[in-house]
Amino acid sequence: MKEDFDAEAHCDHMAAVLGLEIRPEWRQAVIDNLKATQAMAEAVLTFPLGDDVEPAPVFEP
Amino acid sequence: MTAEILYRPAPAIAAAVAAREISAREVATAAIERVTAENDRLGAFTDLTFERALEEADVVDAKVKAGARPPLAGVPYGVKNLFDIAGVVTRAGSRINRDNPPAPADATVVRSLTRAGAILLGALNMGEYAYDFTGENIHDGASRNPHDPSRMSGGSSGGSGTAVAAGMVAASLGSDTNGSIRVPASFCGLFGLKPTYGRLSRAGAFPFCASLDHVGPLARSALDLALLFDALQGDDRRDPAQARRPALAAMNEVRRGAAGLRIAIAGGYFRERGLPEAFAAVDKVATALAVEREVILPEAARARAAAYVITTAEAATLHLDRLRKRPADFDPTVRDRLLAGAMLPAAWVIAAQRWFRQAMREVFAKVDIILAPATPFHALAGGTKTITLGGVAMPARPNIGIYTQPISFIGLPVVTVPVWLDGARLPIVVQVIAPAWREDWALRVAHALEEAGVVEAPVAGEKESVR
């Protein structure tokens, strides 16, 4: 996991970018979810993929 | 016979109505009475369509009188409240969407069931915007588990599980993005079918995460699922992700038995972290099928991680405008995740979309069916916030789906089969997983297990009374 992911700063910056209201009583839960999602994303990003692997936005089984 | 008819499997109800042993109106009336008696206690339905049910019943009775035999003649059902029902507001479990005007027309799958002679009793409770594994809803209250109302129905198709397990209806429709049919099927002890991604039309179903959304039926037998599945199939250009595939004739296949199918147990990830009942259920089914072989589904943990990232990002984008305008009107547990999901770097999401399924195809070159747990435990007590799996305490909600999420991510069809372990007071299901487009194989295994007496889905109260 990336040790330097600052979920608090990311939350505040992105809320401003997106025009989202984050009330003080909601903020900690949003940050916790950002951290959990970052861990999930890290698991995906650490898997090496060839340059020929295309994204599958809609999945055709 | 009128109250008892509701406990019968769908094919038996349809046969009795077609043979004019009982009228569709009598079945509809019995269902209306049962819903009226039980719904306040169990929270299954949020919208009732009793008038429509009686009208549909009269149409079916007239058709039968004229010599027709509709395949689902008089079969009572309900639909998760994200499916459009003409004249009803599609709330999708939310407070916000109930300000929308009533739906102008039925969802495609509702139309298909109407055409087949089924009788719609109403719309069923669900977790807000389907982002849920509990069946609890802050706006409408929880859909409760009929086997023990202090426990969760499972979600997000919670009411779809409650109504069928309580015998209010013979069947229901739900949706499954990461486990939302299979989790309530497990907690409520039902046969559920999550078809192959792209198999059934989702037109008129409020989306959650379009690239992972499936719709499908829940019922009390494999034959019921086959009958419903046959009625639900059909090309629909209104669903852009529906695959142009020939329909299966599941009712012709379902009784062919499990012989000839190469079956294995999912090992590795799918044998870790669950409570003993999850693995005991898989072992009971495997023993009945004389299966000892184990296969590893590679990178299941990463598949789940990718599904998690895609779900939260895609759902957040769907709801972005509502998050900006009415954030306080969301269920807090949904809002937290959607707000975070809106903030993800594109690189995380695209990486998840690039990460896919080649390895799974290789697994299915060697086997035809894979058995895996669906939930890591029996139905949790209502309101449970944390669980301990593999010695680690973790939030309950997202982790109910650890075994379902990697399977829906790659679009595979699954039939859930309900197991009652010796002495258990609650059911738990096993996932019978087939290769893409082979729902019939999973249904054959489910029916064979039912015939062998290994799996069953009694209406709540039936089972307890004989124990």
Q: For the segment B345-362, what is each residue's pLDDT rounded down to a tens digit?
A: 999 999 898 876 566 677
Residue numbers in A near B354 (CB within 8 A): 49, 53-56
Q: Show the domains of chain B with their CATH numbers.
A: 4-304+353-466 (3.90.1300.10)
**What per-residue confidence (pLDDT) applies to A49?**
85
What radius of gyration, in Å, describes the C-alpha atoms of chain A?
15
Distance CA A38, CA A9 (A): 14
Q: Which of B305, B327, B340 sits opposite A21 (nearest CB)?
A: B327
pLDDT reported for residue B467? 40
DSSP annotation string for chain A = --TT--HHHHHHHHHHHHT----HHHHHHHHHHHHHHHHHHHHHHTS---TT----SS---
Of B337, B371, B344, the C-alpha closest to B449 is B371
Nearest to B248 by CA among B434, B424, B427: B434
How many other CB atoms sit within 10 Å of the CB of residue B204? 24
What is the pLDDT at residue B465?
A: 52
Residues of B with active-site annotation: 80, 156, 180
pLDDT at residue A57 tops 80: no
Using 50 as the pLDDT threshold, list the residues of chain B that sit under it.
466-467
B308 touches chain A (CB under 8 A): yes
pLDDT for B364: 85
Q: Where are the domains of chain A?
A: 23-47
Secondary structure, 3-state, B71-90:
CCCCCEEEEECCECCCCCCC
A 27-46 residues with CB below 8 A of B?
29-34, 36-38, 40-41, 43-45
Question: What ipTM was estimated for this complex?
Answer: 0.94
Is the model's pLDDT at A2 over the cut of 60? no
* Shortest CA gap A3–chain B (Å): 16
Sequence-distant (6+) residues with CB within 8 A of B377 are: B274, B275, B277, B278, B387, B428
Q: What pTM did the predictor assign? A: 0.97
Q: Which pLDDT score is estimated for A61?
A: 63
Inspect the interface and report whether the beta carbons of A49 and B241 lie closer than 8 Å.
no
Using DSSP's 3-state secondary structure scheme, residue B449 falls into helix
What token pair was written down for B398?
Answer: 């997202």
